[in-house]
Chains A and B, each alone.
Chain A
Amino acid sequence: MKPVKFDYVAPTTLDAAVEALTAANGEGKLLAGGQSLLPLLNFRMSRPAVLVDLNGINDLSFIELRGDSVAIGALTRHREIEHSPLIASKLPVMSAAMRHVAHLAIRNRGTIGGSLSHADPAAELPMMAMFYNASLIVQGAGGRRTVAAKDFFVDALTNSLEPEDIVVEIEFPVLQHDGWAFEEVARRFGDFALASIAVSIRSGPSSIMDARVAVMGVADTPLRLQDVEKQVCEIEIDGGTSERFSELVMSSVTPHSDPRLR
Chain B
Amino acid sequence: MAVNVSLTVNGTRHDIADVEPRLLLSDFLRETLGLTGTHVGCEHGVCGACTVLVNGHSVRSCLMLAVQANRAEITTVEGLGTPEALNELQIQFREHHGLQCGFCTPGMLITGEDLLNKYPLATDEEIREGLSGNLCRCTGYQNIVAAIRSAAAIRREKT
Contact = CB atoms under 8 A, between A and B. Distances in A.
Interface stretch (B21-29, B80-88, B95-103): B21-29
Contact of B62 (A1, A38, A108, A190): A38
A34 B64 contact: yes
Given A39-B44, A43-B44, A55-B68, A105 B60 contact: yes
30 contacts: A1-B20, A1-B27, A5-B20, A6-B21, A34-B63, A34-B65, A38-B24, A38-B44, A38-B45, A38-B65, A39-B44, A41-B22, A42-B43, A51-B21, A53-B68, A103-B132, A103-B133, A103-B134, A104-B130, A105-B48, A105-B60, A105-B114, A106-B45, A106-B60, A108-B59, A108-B114, A109-B57, A109-B59, A109-B63, A189-B132
Contacts of A103: 48, 132-134
Contacts of A6: 21-22
B92 interface: no
Contacts of A191: 132
B17 interface: no
Given A2-B43, A103-B48, 10 more contacts: A1-B27, A3-B24, A8-B65, A31-B65, A35-B60, A104-B133, A105-B114, A108-B59, A109-B63, A190-B129
Interface in A72-87: 79, 83
Contacts of B59: 105, 108-109
A8 B67 contact: yes
Contact of B57 (A4, A55, A108): A108
B22 A105 contact: no
A243 interface: no
B74 interface: no
Interface of B: 1, 3, 20-24, 27, 43-45, 48, 51, 54, 57-60, 62-65, 67-68, 111, 114-115, 118, 128-130, 132-134
Interface residues of A, number: 34
A215 interface: no
A82 B130 CA distance: 14
Contact of B22 (A1, A55, A189): A1
Contact of B133 (A3, A51, A190): A190
Interface of A: 1-8, 10, 31, 34-35, 38-39, 41-43, 51, 53, 55, 79, 83, 99, 102-106, 108-109, 188-191
A42 B44 contact: yes
Contacts of B67: 8, 10, 53
The 8 closest A-B pairs by CB, nearest first: A103-B133, A8-B21, A39-B44, A108-B57, A38-B63, A3-B22, A189-B132, A190-B132
Contact of B45 (A39, A55, A188): A39
A5 B22 contact: yes
Contacts of A106: 45, 60, 63, 133
Nearest to B111: A104
Contacts of A104: 58, 111, 114-115, 118, 130, 133
A5 B21 CA distance: 8
A195 to B, nearest CB: 18
Nearest to A5: B22
Given A42-B44, A104-B111, A189 B129 contact: yes
A228 B128 CA distance: 35
A223 to B, nearest CB: 26
Contacts of A31: 65, 68
